[in-house]
Chains A and B, each alone.
Chain A
Amino acid sequence: MSGRETVLVAMSGGVDSSVAAALLVEKGYRVIGATMKTFCYSETPANGRTCCGLDGIMDARRVADHLGIAHYVFDMEESFGRAVMDDFVAEYVAGRTPNPCVRCNSNTKIPDLLRRGRALGADRIATGHYARIRQVTGETAVLLRGVDDRKDQSYFLWGVPPEVLDHLVFPVGDLTKDEVRDRARALGLSTAEKPESQEICFVPTDDYTDFLSTRLGADHPALSPGRMVTAEGEHVGEHGGYARYTVGQRKGLGGGFGRRLYVLGVRPDRNEVVVGDPAGLARGEVTLGDLNWLAPSPAPGERLHVRLRHRAALVPAEVVERGGSELRLRFDSPQTAVTPGQSGAIYRGEALVGGGRIR
């Protein structure tokens, strides 16, 4: 019809991606909406509205109709199940704390969306992430943090394949969450007042151990009682399965210790949870594996920032060692949130350089 550029926008049914789609329409793109079916729909009874996905599909479709754009549902159950859910279970069994949203963006959502976009004749894809892309003609695009510091979601994007950057659009990355809601209201979008989505989309009960127990069986070693010990080997109590614990956790340890205890580590091979004083959590360094780079990779001696949790402060650090598959960083001051399996996202100024999984 026209020479307008076509953009495929991922619409979860939430307010952010709804506004993202609306902004693209305003800008004159030919916009196609898509909702990704990622899990559980086939196992959920037709009338079961508990599953976030089904509601999401209907909300997204309503917004797409309102905007006058096409909307499709893409079935990603297989790749999501493999790359995200299986990994989630395997990481907990290995005594680590996975980050499924990172896995989803890196392995499923972004690359699959681009492939499908190209099948549809769209060379660009968009999502409702609070992040920005800076594109300078002739240069590879750079991924920047979103302008809303409290909402910045670039942390979840360190693992996306670098070649997708030139094709990515984040329409709400220049806005704050309040501005996004205002736009949604002004546009009359039905999703304007929708609450924030829960942390892990495939854990509707908000208790991931329910999911582990369904997948592994309740009597799996990772969920079976074992010893709670101090770093010195003192047996101080029992735990209900090491996969229920994550480094830095204080809740759920039970009382009667006479002092505040924190989870310092997990030993899956011995089904032990190591506890101790908060001082035992402090780490001066972090080693990242499964590295991915979205910009020239950092060299030893370079000073940059690393984020160890979503919404946690940026931590100044220096690159100590750069191997082929691992990167070692030294923090300027010791950190307590160094949790194996979680992500370390690395920033050079506003730009997301890449990252890795915490070893």
Chain B
Amino acid sequence: MTEAMLYLDHAADTPVRPEVIVAMTRLQEAGVGNASSVHGPGRAARGALEEARERVAGVLGAAPREIVFTSGGTEADNMAVLGRWRASRRGVVVSAVEHSAVRGPAAAAAREGAPLTILAVDESGRVDLGALDEALREEPGVVSVMWGNNETGTLQPVAEIGRRCAAAGAAFHTDAVQAVGHVPVRVDEARCSLLSLSAHKFGGPPGAGALFLRDGTEIEPLLSGGGQERGLRAGTSNVVAAAGLATALDLAVGQLETEAARLGTLRDRLQARLQAELPDLRVHGADADRLPHILNVGLDGVPADVLIASLDVAGLAVSSGAACHSGGGEPSHVLMAMGRFSDAVARFSLGWSTTEEDVDRGAALFLDVLDRARAAIA
């Protein structure tokens, strides 16, 4: 089964790029010390860590001291939302389509007494700016709206949200986990105070992420211990992971323009193939600007659990909603917020290793599976 799997689930995890494996292996083999140590090996580790930090900062248009390395996107989101609430003791505002890595800490903040506002979205998943303005009047401590949605690919008007937050004096956090490496992400353009990214979404290793924290924005750290990451994130620095993240980010951003165009063309090709055969197909987020690598479709006439299993058996790896919830029968909160309902939903997501042949084969497999499943269940 797995040996011939066609992988179109890059938004869940994309393969680590070979150059990244080489860079990480070299560093690991050279022997890394503890970046907090004062001796030679420690200095070498610190050097590698700070170089990685500079590279990440450079890509985002930030200062190196504004980059905090984390264990991944979830930790960065938690630091941003929960950390901002605890530092400000003012309200938390999140959109209705956030990833659970933001919904979770927002709910946790609410349990600690934070006033929580959830911003509605339109049919394409874009946040309601009128609702945002209203929420900003309450002077929240943090507003968290993702850059691009992990399920539908819908891009939020982050520049506009950032402008309004800045005018109101609210810290704007954006979860850019799916966006980084796929669309240009610059912190000044978004006017954000906080931004999360995750290495394994753009060809880096899992377990590595970063939080951009603008100078002057205060957060309460979640981990205490040693004074690593300027006291914001205690724990021995994972130098190899940080180097892997920076290498992958450089590669992804270096190829961004051509790669985004290539993936966008492939995504549109996939969408067109499916639409040609399935007139009842619902393409979610189609009316908005989308991340180039994500296609989310809804269908009736086949239960979600059957579709998930059938696709896996047929050797096509795609997701139903965010991969983190897959297997459960819970409906997607993103599509519910968009008011889009289907019996089953499939998310195709493409990546650096996806070819045109993959996309054609994926479309054919999907159509076959759907035909058989619909006939069996009807």
Contacts and interface: CB of A to CB of B under 8 A. Distances in A.
* Contact size range, A: 10 to 19
Contact of A34 (B4, B303, B309): B309
Interface in B294-326: 302-306, 308-310, 312-314
A119 B327 contact: no
Nearest to A114: B376
B199 to A, nearest CB: 28
B111 to A, nearest CB: 15
A310 interface: no
A32 B329 contact: no
A77 B304 CA distance: 13
A70 B1 contact: yes
Q: Chain B at the A interface: mostly helix, strand, loop or mixed?
A: helix
Contacts of A202: none
A123 B75 CA distance: 46
Contact of B313 (A42, A74, A75, A120): A120
Contacts of B303: 75
A118 B329 contact: no
A120 B310 CA distance: 5
Contacts of A73: 305, 327-329
Interface residues of B, number: 21
Contacts of A227: none
A116 interface: yes
A42 B331 CA distance: 12
A115 B329 contact: no
B372 interface: yes
Determine which residue in B4, B302, B309, B310 has the highest number of CB atoms from chain A within 10 A of its CB, and name it.
B309
B305 A72 contact: yes
Contact of A70 (B304, B312, B328): B312
Contact of B306 (A1, A6, A70, A116): A116
B329 A119 contact: no
Given A119-B372, A120-B310, A37 B1 contact: no
Listed from nearest, the 9 A-B pairs whose CB atoms lie closest are A118-B376, A119-B376, A119-B373, A72-B309, A75-B329, A120-B313, A119-B306, A75-B305, A74-B305
6 contacts: A75-B304, A115-B377, A116-B376, A119-B309, A120-B309, A121-B310
Interface of A: 1, 6, 32, 34, 37, 42, 70, 72-75, 77, 115-121
